[in-house]
């Protein structure tokens, strides 16, 4: 017991003096004697004793139980209560501070010393078990961290990598340990830094619990590596009351990204081919006035409606050129650029194609927010996603129907169980709803599988929905689908909104997604 220090908290001076002598005779060190709860807290912080003998009844606003509670919240110091009061309610209140003992006054000196010995022995045994468990936990974490096939990095609030595992060093081509203390942003392609920095800011400030995105990383040799990244909060203190680190988990998907790009290119070509059928009919109608008008122009001096004729010809040619330009844009490979884009413009472009190419038996409804709907992403890919969904909607309404396109903003709250890939924050929601045949429940879970199609052989590649979902996920978003057989289907694309330009709007009925006729509201 040599060197063991015990702080005495007793407001009766004579009792405190006798207690101090008793402890010193038993070989304990007494660094101080406190008479009030406030003084006890200060002394505990200053001396950090091995044990505190705490009288429950103390002078002042802070009694012994409250003082013990405050000490217990911040310091791992065992407390032994001393009291002459036999009050069960007081005892129950004292238990909330998790003391290691409760000794009633008056007590014999030997009883006091024995109780102190037992309390200290119990506390040290608990500490040994805790240290052993902590050591085992750290060993398990170290094994998982070092052997994980994913690249792992712990990043602090300053944006520096505290530690990176061997897999991340291998992915980026660095020797073990070279990434430690590196600025994480320096590894990210400049076009992806803004979105990643916004997500990390949301994590540190508690508006997100996790996020995932695809981003480009700089390898040591200068090459670009596509990585699927998931990040979550990681507190480095025992209480877990602070978010001091972010754990980044990165998988090299460069090869998968190349394959997805080839699949997307194949789907674009298939879409262009399908649209060409409708295009031929519409262009023929649009060009007819111009073709028929050419011989009449030669007789223009003899016609009073010459000016009106030229206007009709000009309108028809302009309309045809617009359709051709849209198709040319679709046929080009999606560029890997990311920029701030207003989704209202994308929806407007898709609506223009629908009006020009889709059969007139399909009614188009458009509902777009009057406010900017800004995301950071690739506008060509988002355009392709919407058009894929519109083409599918057209195919399930062969005789007639209504196609509804909507665009609005929502904020997903932390307490709303919404989607497995959803994280709290602002989103732009793009919706494509039809009144077609719907999707049977037994195949609804399979519609996003590559090459899965319900269309007749040769009528579809089965890549449309698969590539659409992959492009949306690459933007940090997700897709929801709601369908009822014979009543229609609704697809909702959720894309993380740009917080710098998007007004924060809570979720309410005023901005809920417009559902197709007879469809349930989104969950």
Q: Which residues pair with 377 in a beta bridge?
A: 339
Q: Is the pTM of this model over 0.85?
A: no
Tracing tokens 């220090």 back to the chain, one arrives at 5
Confidence of residue 328 (pLDDT cuts 50, 70, 90): low
Which has the closest alpha carbon to 90: 64, 72, 108, 115?
64
Q: Which CATH architecture has domain 257-511?
A: 2-Layer Sandwich (3.30)
Tell me the per-residue pLDDT of 271-298, one tens digit each, with 9 for 90 and over.
666 666 556 556 656 665 666 666 666 5
Q: Which residues pair with 493 in a beta bridge?
A: 430, 479
pLDDT at 408 over 90: yes
- Predicted pLDDT at 504: 39
CA 58 – CA 435 distance, rounded (Å)? 76
Q: Prior bond to 106 cis, omega within 30?
A: yes
Contact criterion met (CB below 8 Å) for 468 and 447:
no
Contact criterion met (CB below 8 Å) for 183 and 160:
yes
Interior CA angle at 344 toward 341 and 347, to 5°? 110
pLDDT at 33 over 80: yes
Please compute the mean of the pLDDT values over residues 313-339 and round it to a whole number: 60
- Summarize the chain as % helix, strand, coil (round to 5): 45, 25, 35
- Predicted pLDDT at 387: 86
Query: Token pair of 277, please?
Result: 């059928």
Which has the closest alpha carbon to 326: 350, 295, 302, 358?
350
Which has the closest alpha carbon to 40: 50, 28, 54, 29?
54
Three-state SS annotation for 100-127? CEEEECCCCHHHHHHHHHHHHHHHHHHH
Contact criterion met (CB below 8 Å) for 488 and 520:
no
Tell me the per-residue pLDDT of 38-81, one tens digit each, with 9 for 90 and over.
898 999 899 989 888 888 888 788 888 888 888 888 888 888 88
Boundaries of every domain in the chain: 6-140, 148-252, 257-511
Tracing tokens 């405190």 back to the chain, one arrives at 16
- Predicted pLDDT at 344: 94
- According to DSSP, the β-strands at 362-368 and 401-412 are parallel
Which has the closest alpha carbon to 373: 477, 474, 448?
477
CA 265 – CA 331 distance, rounded (Å)? 8
- Predicted pLDDT at 523: 28
Cβ neighbours of residue 104 closer than 8 Å, sequence gap 6 or more: 83, 84, 86
Q: Which CATH architecture has domain 6-140?
A: 3-Layer(aba) Sandwich (3.40)
Confidence of residue 512 (pLDDT cuts 50, 70, 90): very low
What sign does the CA torsion over 377, 381, 382, 383 have? positive
Q: Which fold has domain 148-252?
A: Beta-Lactamase (3.30.450)
Query: Token pair of 244, please?
Result: 């001091």
Query: Token pair of 414, please?
Result: 């932390």
Which has the closest alpha carbon to 384: 480, 285, 263?
263
pLDDT at 436 over 90: yes
CA 171 – CA 173 distance, rounded (Å)? 6
Which has the closest alpha carbon to 276: 356, 217, 345?
356
Query: Token pair of 511, please?
Result: 């901005």
Tell me the per-residue pLDDT of 191-246, one tens digit each, with 9 for 90 and over.
888 888 888 888 888 778 888 888 899 998 778 899 999 998 876 554 444 457 88
Phi-psi region of 438 (alpha: psi -120 to 50; beta: other; left: phi over 0): left
């Amino acid at each position: 017991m040599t060197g063991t220090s015990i702080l005495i908290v007793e407001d009766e001076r004579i009792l405190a003096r006798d207690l101090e002598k008793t402890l010193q005779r038993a070989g304990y060190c007494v660094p101080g004697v406190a008479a009030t709860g406030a003084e006890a807290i200060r002394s505990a912080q200053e001396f950090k004793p091995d044990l505190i003998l705490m009288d429950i009844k103390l002078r002042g606003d802070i009694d012994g139980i409250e003082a013990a509670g405050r000490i217990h919240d911040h310091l791992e110091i065992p407390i032994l209560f001393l009291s002459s009061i036999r009050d069960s309610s007081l005892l129950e209140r004292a238990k909330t501070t998790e003391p290691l003992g409760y000794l009633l006054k008056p007590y014999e000196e030997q009883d006091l010393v024995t109780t102190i010995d037992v309390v200290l022995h119990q506390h040290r045994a608990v500490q040994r078990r805790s240290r052993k468990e902590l050591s085992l936990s750290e060993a398990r974490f170290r094994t998982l961290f070092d052997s994980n096939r994913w690249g792992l990095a712990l990043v602090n609030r300053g944006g520096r990598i505290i530690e990176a595992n061997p897999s991340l060093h291998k992915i980026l081509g660095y020797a073990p340990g070279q990434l430690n203390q590196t600025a994480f942003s320096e590894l990210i392609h400049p076009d992806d830094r803004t979105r990643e920095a916004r997500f990390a800011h949301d994590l540190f400030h508690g508006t997100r619990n996790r996020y995932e995105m695809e981003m480009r990383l700089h390898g040591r040799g200068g090459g670009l590596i596509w990585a699927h990244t998931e990040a979550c909060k990681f507190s480095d203190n025992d209480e877990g009351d602070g978010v001091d680190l972010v754990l980044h988990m990165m998988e090299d998907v460069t090869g998968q990204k190349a394959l997805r790009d080839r699949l997307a290119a194949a789907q674009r070509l298939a879409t262009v081919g399908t649209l060409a059928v409708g295009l031929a009919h519409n262009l023929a109608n649009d060009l007819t006035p111009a073709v028929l008008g050419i011989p009449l122009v030669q007789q223009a001096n003899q016609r009073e409606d010459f000016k009106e004729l030229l206007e009709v010809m000009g309108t028809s040619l302009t309309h045809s050129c617009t359709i051709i330009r849209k198709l040319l844009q679709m046929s080009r490979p999606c560029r890997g650029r990311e920029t701030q884009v207003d989704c209202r413009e994308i929806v407007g472009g898709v609506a223009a194609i629908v009006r020009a190419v889709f059969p007139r038996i399909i009614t188009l409804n458009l509902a777009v927010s009057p406010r900017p709907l800004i995301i950071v992403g690739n506008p060509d890919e988002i355009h392709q996603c919407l058009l894929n969904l519109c083409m599918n909607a057209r195919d399930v309404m062969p005789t007639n129907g209504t196609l509804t396109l909507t665009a609005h903003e929502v904020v997903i709250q932390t307490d709303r169980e919404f989607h497995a890939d959803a994280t709290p924050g602002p989103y732009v929601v793009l919706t494509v709803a039809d009144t077609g045949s719907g999707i049977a429940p037994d195949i609804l879970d399979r519609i996003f599988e590559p090459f899965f199609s319900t269309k007749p052989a040769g009528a579809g590649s089965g890549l449309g929905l698969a590539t659409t979902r992959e492009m949306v996920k690459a933007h940090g978003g997700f897709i929801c689908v709601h369908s009822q057989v014979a009543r229609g289907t609704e697809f909702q694309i959720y894309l993380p909104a740009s917080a710098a330009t998007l007004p924060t709007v809570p979720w309410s009925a005023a901005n809920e997604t417009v559902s197709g006729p007879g469809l349930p509201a989104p969950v």
